């Protein structure tokens, strides 16, 4: 591994640079184009945050954090995402709604205690159109609710993570104000669309399967691969999380048959194939198919402790 992965450094500079250019030059002349470009850069920034928390582009953790410290999508603190995402990389517990902070599944007892309207909303959220439209809002509400509880009980690292996040937000919000973009418009036309773009990638990233390796998808090609930093080849990332984004296609091509056998054929040719199949139809049930089938039942009156959720908006 390189001591400094310069392609990633260059992409970070380009991401912030294009975002700033959109605000300085495009916003006064072509505001819709400016907001669209800012949304794409905010989505790319989310992918770069994911890359950096895995130890890229340098071998120095604080420097990696500093390089992506301005949170273009506003909502999710870097350190909270890092803690929950690294917990998600315990492949043996992938999709478990209590042990995997990025699971979309619910335990049956928890699902059955929800109001009917919320059950219906979650079913819609398990369609691809529903996830793209509703996912960012549901994720943000769930995340902030759980973080408020963790903040209240002073869970380890939570207050520090939010303090650093607010310190990063202050100059960013000042710049947005200097551009002349109303905050409500930035939230509606930049943050929401950015998280919707990321929802295309995360929609089917994981499923329940008996074998942990069978729970992680391969989407072989997409014009959005650059935006997702090749995490459409997600099984490769889960198996080699230290590999930089620009190496994932080569690693996949070198052993294509191996990767497809390893993940038990959980392969799609493109996101368009996924969209055609599941645009308006649930791909997965809301209730986890086999949660704790080999364990003693949980006490239905005992809720699990709150956990933070992934920056893509998944609630446990």
Q: Looking up tokens 């994911």, which residue turns up?
A: 50
For the chain, what is the mean pLDDT?
Answer: 92
pLDDT tens-digit series, residues 138-170: 999 999 999 999 999 999 999 999 999 999 999
CA–CA gap between residue 195 and residue 37 (Å, rounded): 14
- Residue ranges per structural domain of the chain: 6-278
Give the dihedral of Cα atoms 145, 151, 153, 157; nearest 10 deg: 130
pLDDT > 90 fraction of the chain, expressed in percent and rounded: 90
Q: Which two tokens stand for residue 102?
A: 């990025």
Residue 316 has pLDDT above 90, yes or no: no
pTM of the complete model: 0.90
Please, which pLDDT band fits residue 304 given cuts at 50, 70 and 90? very low
Bridge partners for 219 per DSSP: 268
Average pLDDT over residues 127-141: 96
CB 39 within 8 A of CB 194: yes
Q: Looking up tokens 């059955």, which residue turns up?
A: 112
Residue 3 has pLDDT above 90, yes or no: no
Please, which pLDDT band fits residue 225 given cuts at 50, 70 and 90? very high
pLDDT tens-digit series, residues 13-37: 999 999 999 999 999 999 999 999 9
Determine the pLDDT at residue 293: 44
Residues 6+ apart with CB under 8 A from 70: 16, 168, 171, 172
Residue 313 has pLDDT above 70, yes or no: no
CA–CA gap between residue 246 and residue 78 (Å, rounded): 22
Average pLDDT over residues 94-113: 93
Residues 6+ apart with CB under 8 A from 253: none
CB 127 within 8 A of CB 278: yes
Average pLDDT over residues 225-243: 97
In terms of C-beta density within 10 A (0-12 exposed, 13-18 middle, 19 or more buried), how is residue 282 classed?
A: middle
pLDDT tens-digit series, residues 71-88: 999 999 999 999 999 999
Determine the pLDDT at residue 265: 97
CB 225 within 8 A of CB 269: no
The alpha carbon dihedral of 132, 133, 136, 138 has a sign of: negative
Please, which pLDDT band fits residue 291 given cuts at 50, 70 and 90? confident
Q: Residue 187's CB: how many other CB atoms inside 10 A?
A: 14
Q: Which two tokens stand for residue 106?
A: 């619910």
The region that residue 310 occupies, defined by phi over 0 for left and psi between -120 and 50 for alpha, beta otherwise, is beta
Please, which pLDDT band fits residue 1 given cuts at 50, 70 and 90? low
Determine the pLDDT at residue 168: 97
Smallest Cα–Cα separation from 219: which of 276, 274, 277?
274
Residue 220 has pLDDT above 90, yes or no: yes
Average pLDDT over residues 220-231: 97
């Amino acid at each position: 591994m390189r001591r400094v992965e310069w392609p990633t450094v260059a992409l970070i500079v380009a991401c912030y640079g294009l975002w700033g250019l959109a605000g300085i030059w495009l916003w006064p002349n072509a505001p819709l184009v400016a907001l669209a470009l800012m949304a794409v850069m905010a989505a790319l920034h989310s992918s770069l945050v994911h890359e950096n928390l895995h130890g890229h582009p340098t071998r120095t953790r604080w420097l990696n954090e500093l390089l992506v410290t301005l949170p273009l999508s506003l909502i999710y603190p870097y350190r909270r995402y890092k803690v929950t995402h690294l917990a998600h990389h315990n492949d043996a517990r992938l999709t478990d709604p209590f042990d995997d902070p990025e699971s979309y599944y619910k335990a049956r007892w928890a699902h059955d205690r929800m109001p009917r309207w919320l059950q219906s909303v979650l079913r819609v959220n398990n369609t691809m159109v529903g996830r793209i439209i509703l996912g960012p809002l549901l994720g943000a509400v769930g995340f902030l609710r759980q973080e408020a509880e963790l903040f209240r009980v002073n869970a380890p690292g939570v207050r520090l993570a939010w303090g650093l996040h607010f310190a990063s937000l202050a100059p960013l919000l000042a710049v947005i104000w200097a551009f002349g973009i109303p905050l409500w418009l930035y939230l509606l036309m930049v943050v929401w669309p950015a998280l919707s773009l990321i929802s295309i990638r995360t929609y089917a990233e994981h499923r329940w399967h008996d074998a942990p390796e069978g729970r992680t998808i391969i989407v072989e090609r997409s014009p959005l691969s650059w935006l997702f930093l090749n995490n459409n080849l997600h099984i490769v990332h889960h198996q080699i999380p230290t590999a930089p984004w620009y190496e994932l296609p080569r690693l996949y091509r070198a052993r294509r048959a191996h990767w497809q056998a390893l993940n038990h054929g959980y392969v799609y040719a493109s996101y368009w194939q996924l969209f055609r199949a599941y645009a308006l139809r649930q791909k997965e049930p809301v209730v986890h198919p086999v949660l704790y089938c080999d364990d003693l039942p949980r006490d239905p009156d005992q809720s699990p402790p709150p956990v933070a959720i992934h920056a893509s908006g998944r609630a446990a």
